[in-house]
Structure 1
Amino acid sequence: MRLQKYMAKCGIASRRKSEKIILDNRVKVNNKIINELGYKVDINKDTVSVDDKKIFLEEEKVYILLNKPTGYVTTVSDQFNRPTVIDLIEGVNQRIYPVGRLDYDTSGLLILTNDGDLTYKLTHPKHEVNKTYVSKVKGVPTQEEINRFENGLIIDGYKTSKASIKILRKFNNKSLVEIKIHEGRNRQVRKMCKEIGHPVVTLKRVAIGTIELGNLEVGKWRKLTEKEVDYLKKKKTL
């Protein structure tokens, strides 16, 4: 691999800036200064340093969208030996972890990655990442109950941020609702629905920002597209 490409893959700088660093005699390969732009390194044998600090290839970033089934915990491992979402991901060599959580009995869209910066962005409250759920609840919320839900409820001693709830369908003393929140507190949607007198029967997350679950089968996964990854990285609020 050409030296400047290797440096770029190590996260030192862009290829063009890496070329300048090479020409400035700041790069050594096996303790020998190299200032040739065409120089090639053996990534399995050669030791490369910049300003006398060894550099290493960054782990390839992986971004996965999973349609989580119920009955799986959103952790890398479980002390009670319950199945985890990692059990559903095969053929990925990198060590990935879930971004945020979906309850054991909640299904739907879950992102897994090894990108710590993106994980922070998607889980920190200040970034206001919208999450969309479809839920079957008992009964049919009244307009007054909808207003309470949307303007904030006192749960576990704190007031929830503004949210939205929309009735999609009514049937057999139950209703199907669409809920949007940007917080991610423990079992928050379930607690909010219970607080207005309409406990959750089933709950599924269908979108994070504009990233949608679509028709992905339950238990299956796919890699996020480059466009989707760029969207998640660039948006200040989703």
Structure 2
Amino acid sequence: MCDDGKRDASSTRVRLHKFIAQAGITSRRTAERWIAAGRVRVNGVVVTTLGTLVDSLRDEVRVDGRVVGRVAAQQVILLHKPRWCLTTVRDPRGRPTVMDCLQGLSTRVYPVGRLDWDASGALLLTNDGELANRLMHPRYGVPKVYRVEVRGVPSAEQMELWRRGVRLREGVTAPAGVKLVRRFSDSAWLEVTLHQGWYRQIKRMGEAVGLPVLKIHRTAYGPIRLGRLPVGHWRRLSAQEVRRLREAVMWAPEFRRSHDV
């Protein structure tokens, strides 16, 4: 199709909260709160009206004084996180972070959730703030699968307690999938499937049932499996894999249209 030099202005106009979310810095809901709180300026003017339209090519949008730019292409990355590495963008103490593993990646991405400093395995990173928030939100209960080494040999009672739910300070954990993978004389490997992500949850669950956790390795995040990706390496998810992730958080095309505000 030939370009006659004209552009349909409506094709570049988008609701302000959606524009901010598409920049990969937060979810639409949080962007709405920022707008209502007066933290967002469009072309130098504070905007507090939800539903305001902006031109994604011409208008300058700032949050707390920082320019927000639309992400050219949304990316989802799978990283095989090494142990002794922080799941954060930067560390003021200079310790290694997962960002040190992303050599050769020009797009700025952010971790989806976290893995402990001493844990390894599948970690997703993306510049799609809305997708990241849905993947982490307990409403969707996206399963995460771990191989967990514990001290001691689990009894049937300990396994059943872990499956039913363990009382922690936040409350009783959601039922978990737990099965014995390998048994040794004084330790064992378990496969644990969680649908929530409380702080250091696996370690605290292990302590609560009398099975101190020695190692944690995540093998899958929702439909995305780590497979044979080497430690410290990353790869982009295929379009089919991203589609499966979106389906895991009810993001079918019909759902997107009905919620595209």
TM-score range, shorter chain: 0.7 to 0.9
| Cα displacement (A) at 1:164 | 1.4
Matched residue, 1:153: 166
CA distance in 2, matches of 1:4, 1:170: 69
Shift in Å, 1:80: 1.1
Given that 2:80 and 2:230 are in contact with CA atoms closer than 8 Å, whether structure 1 keeps it comes out as yes
Counterpart of 1:42 in structure 2 is: none
Deviation at 1:235, TM superposition (A): 2.3
Choose which of 63, 87, 90 in structure 1 pairs with 2:100.
87
Aligned partner of 1:140 in structure 2 is 153
Q: Secondary structure at the match of 2:145?
A: strand
How far apart, CA to CA, are the structure 2 residues paired with 1:154 and 1:107?
A: 26
Aligned to 1:227: 240
Cα distance in 1 for partners of 2:154, 2:189 equals 10
Equivalent residue number for residue 209 of structure 1? 222
1:1-238 matches, within 5 Å, as: 2=3, 54-56=55-57, 58-236=71-249
Structure 2: how far apart are the matches of 1:5 and 1:64? 33
Pairwise CA distance, 1:210: 1.9
How far is 1:136 from its partner? 1.1
Taking the aligned partners of 1:110 and 1:6, their CA distance within structure 2 comes to 40
Contact 2:143–2:221, Cα closer than 8 Å, also in 1: yes
- In structure 1, stretches of 5+ residues that fail to align are 13-51
Q: What's the % identity of the aligned pairs? A: 37
Cα distance between partner residues in 2 of 1:131 and 1:153 = 17
**Max Rg structure:** 1
Cα distance in 1 for partners of 2:8, 2:121 equals 39
- Counterpart secondary structure, 1:127: coil
**1:11–1:58 CA contact under 8 A, matched in 2:** no
Distance change (3 Å), C-alpha of 1:6 and 1:194 = farther
Give the superposition deviation at 1:81: 0.8
Contact 1:67 1:221 in 2 (8 A): yes
**Take 2:6 and 2:76, find their aligned partners in 1: how far apart are those partners?**
26
Q: Secondary structure at the match of 2:230?
A: coil
Distance of 1:4 and 1:158 partners within structure 2 = 59
- Runs (5+) with no aligned partner, structure 2: 15-52, 58-69, 251-261
Q: Give the aligned residue type for 2:131.
A: L
**Secondary structure at the counterpart of residue 108 of structure 2:** coil
AA partner of residue 147 (structure 2): V
CA contact (8 A) 1:151 1:162 kept: yes
Q: 1:173 to 1:236 in 2, by over 3 A?
A: same
Deviation at 1:148, TM superposition (A): 0.7
Query: Aligned to 2:159, what secondary structure does the other structure show?
Result: helix
Residues 115-141 of structure 1: CA deviation (Å, up to 9, x unaligned): 011101111111101000001111111
In structure 2, the residue corresponding to 1:91 is in which secondary structure?
coil
Structure 2 CA distance, aligned partners of 1:223 and 1:4? 35
Of the structure 1 ranges 147-156 and 1-10, higher mean CA displacement relative to structure 2 is found in 1-10
The Cα shift of 1:171 comes to 1.2
Match of 2:139, SS?
helix
Distance in 1 between residues matched to 2:144 and 2:113, nearest whole Å: 11
State the Cα RMSD in Å. 2.5
Deviations 1:71-112 (A, max 9, x none): 110000011110110111022222211000000000000000
Q: Distance in 2 between matches of 1:68 and 1:86?
A: 10
- Paired AA for residue 140 in structure 1: V
3-state DSSP class of the match of 2:134? helix
What secondary structure is seen at the aligned counterpart in 1 of 2:125? Answer: strand
- The CA distance in 1 between the partners of 2:216 and 2:115, in whole Å, is 10
